[in-house]
């Protein structure tokens, strides 16, 4: 390749050099910048580089200069992401069950491109999360793309839905028959990704774990269930379902020991209605889809949290406990 072949790309390569090889702690002198441009087969004079650095700064890539002794150093200043912000994103990616190990590495590598080569090393760390099993299904990203395409095109979706067997194998439900639904939303809850869709057979909104959806494809039939979905309070869609399990939406009054305040507010948020009952207890009023999964969570709190109203829900919970107790009579 002839010297100066990439002359038209000088500004782009200069931007790359400044963003990748400089930061607040590492700068480049003008001779060093000229040398690095030469590695890309670009001839550059000092005057033209001064002008180019000013152009980059005017464009929004902050270029700062600093005098150290008898030398002047140039470096890239403010960036789209600060190092602490990218660390948070890396932690979220590495600790997510939904994102596979390979995809985690790919995403983190892309995040590193927002930093200098020096600061990028700060993102290369291991996040240890107890009892966290990473999803190994790489096809999940294609599934998400198919779902998004169906929603964008206002069309329905077909797929097989799988379940675990006692032999630790995934097998299709309904003997492999395909589900046909109208997709309306993707929801991230309890470290899992869910498809929220209208099921024409049940005439209701259902939820499907995205990592258990196989062979998804868009079909040219207009989506149904817009009225059913629009009636949902989308801003509170997640918080009113316990781990995304559906059930009759019910307002409960819970008698809680004061020691349970952290547990209650961590689970349902700090904006629920509550008031003091006595010196040791407070009343929490929540609206939630009551399911066996909610009962299981409540059972784990023992007598520290009790359903006060409605009475019929308290009786249903008692029946749930009795059913478990009777199951151990062997």
Q: Are 3 and 41 in contact (CB under 8 A)?
A: yes
Structure token digits, residue 52? 């180019």
Give 7-76's CATH code, choosing from 1.10.3330.10, 3.30.420.10, 3.10.20.30, 1.10.10.10.
1.10.10.10
pLDDT at 176: 93
pLDDT by residue, tens only, the chain of 330 residues? 445 678 889 999 999 999 999 999 999 999 999 999 999 999 989 999 999 999 999 999 999 999 999 999 999 998 988 888 998 888 888 777 777 888 888 888 899 989 999 998 888 765 544 444 555 566 788 898 899 999 999 999 999 999 887 777 889 999 999 999 999 998 877 667 889 999 988 888 888 988 889 999 999 999 999 888 877 655 445 444 555 556 778 899 999 999 888 888 878 876 688 899 999 999 999 988 888 888 988 999 999 999 999 999 999 999 999 998 888 877
Domain ranges within the chain, ordered by starting residue: 7-76, 83-123, 152-235, 249-327
CA distances from 30 to 46, 49, 75, 77, 219 (A): 7, 8, 11, 17, 59
How many CB atoms are located within 10 Å of the residue 226 CB?
13
Q: What is the CA radius of gyration of the chain?
A: 28
pLDDT at 188: 78
| 94 vs 62: CA distance, rounded Å | 31
Q: In terms of Cα–Cα distance, which of 44, 52, 68 is closest to 18?
A: 52
- Alpha helix positions (H), 71-201: 83-95, 101-112, 117-120, 140-152
CA distances from 153 to 96, 106, 113, 165 (A): 29, 29, 33, 35
Per the omega criterion (within 30 degrees of 0), is the bond before 102 cis? no
pLDDT at 204: 87
CA atoms within 13 A on the CB side of 135: 20
Give 152-235's CATH code, choosing from 2.60.40, 2.30.30, 3.30.160, 2.40.50.
2.30.30
User: With the C-alpha atoms ordered 313, 314, 320, 322, is the resulting torsion angle positive or negative?
Assistant: negative
- Does the domain at residues 249-327 carry the CATH identifier 3.30.70? yes
pLDDT at 239: 47
């Amino acid at each position: 390749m002839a010297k100066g072949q990439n002359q038209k790309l000088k500004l782009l390569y200069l931007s790359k050099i400044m963003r990748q090889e400089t930061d607040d702690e590492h700068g480049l002198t003008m001779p060093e910048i000229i040398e690095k441009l030469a590695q890309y087969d670009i001839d550059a004079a000092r005057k033209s580089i001064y002008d180019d650095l000013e152009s980059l700064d005017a464009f929004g890539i902050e270029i700062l200069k600093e005098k150290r002794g008898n030398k002047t150093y140039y470096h890239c200043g403010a960036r789209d992401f600060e190092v602490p912000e990218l660390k948070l994103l890396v932690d979220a990616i590495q600790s997510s069950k939904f994102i596979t190990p390979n995809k985690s590495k790919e995403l983190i590598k892309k995040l590193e491109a927002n930093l200098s080569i020096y600061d990028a090393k700060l993102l290369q760390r291991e996040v240890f999360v107890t009892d966290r099993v990473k999803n190994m299904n790489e096809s999940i990203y294609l599934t998400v793309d198919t779902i998004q395409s169906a929603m964008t095109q206002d069309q329905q979706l077909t797929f097989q839905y799988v379940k675990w067997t006692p032999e630790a194998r995934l097998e299709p439900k309904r003997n492999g028959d395909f589900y046909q639904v109208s997709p309306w939303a993707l929801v991230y809850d309890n470290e899992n990704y869910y498809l929220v869709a209208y099921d024409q057979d049940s005439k209701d909104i259902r939820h499907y774990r995205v990592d258990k959806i196989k062979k998804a494809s868009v079909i040219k039939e207009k989506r149904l269930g817009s009225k059913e979905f629009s009636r949902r309070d989308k801003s509170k869609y997640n918080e009113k379902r316990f781990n995304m399990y559906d059930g009759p939406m019910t307002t409960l009054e819970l008698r809680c020991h004061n020691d349970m305040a952290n547990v209650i507010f961590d689970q349902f948020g700090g904006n629920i209605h509550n008031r003091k009952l006595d010196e040791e207890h407070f009343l929490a009023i929540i609206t939630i889809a009551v399911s066996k999964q909610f009962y299981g969570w409540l059972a784990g709190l023992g007598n520290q949290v009790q359903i006060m109203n409605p009475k019929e829900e308290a009786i249903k919970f008692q029946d749930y406990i009795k059913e478990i107790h009777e199951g151990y009579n062997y």
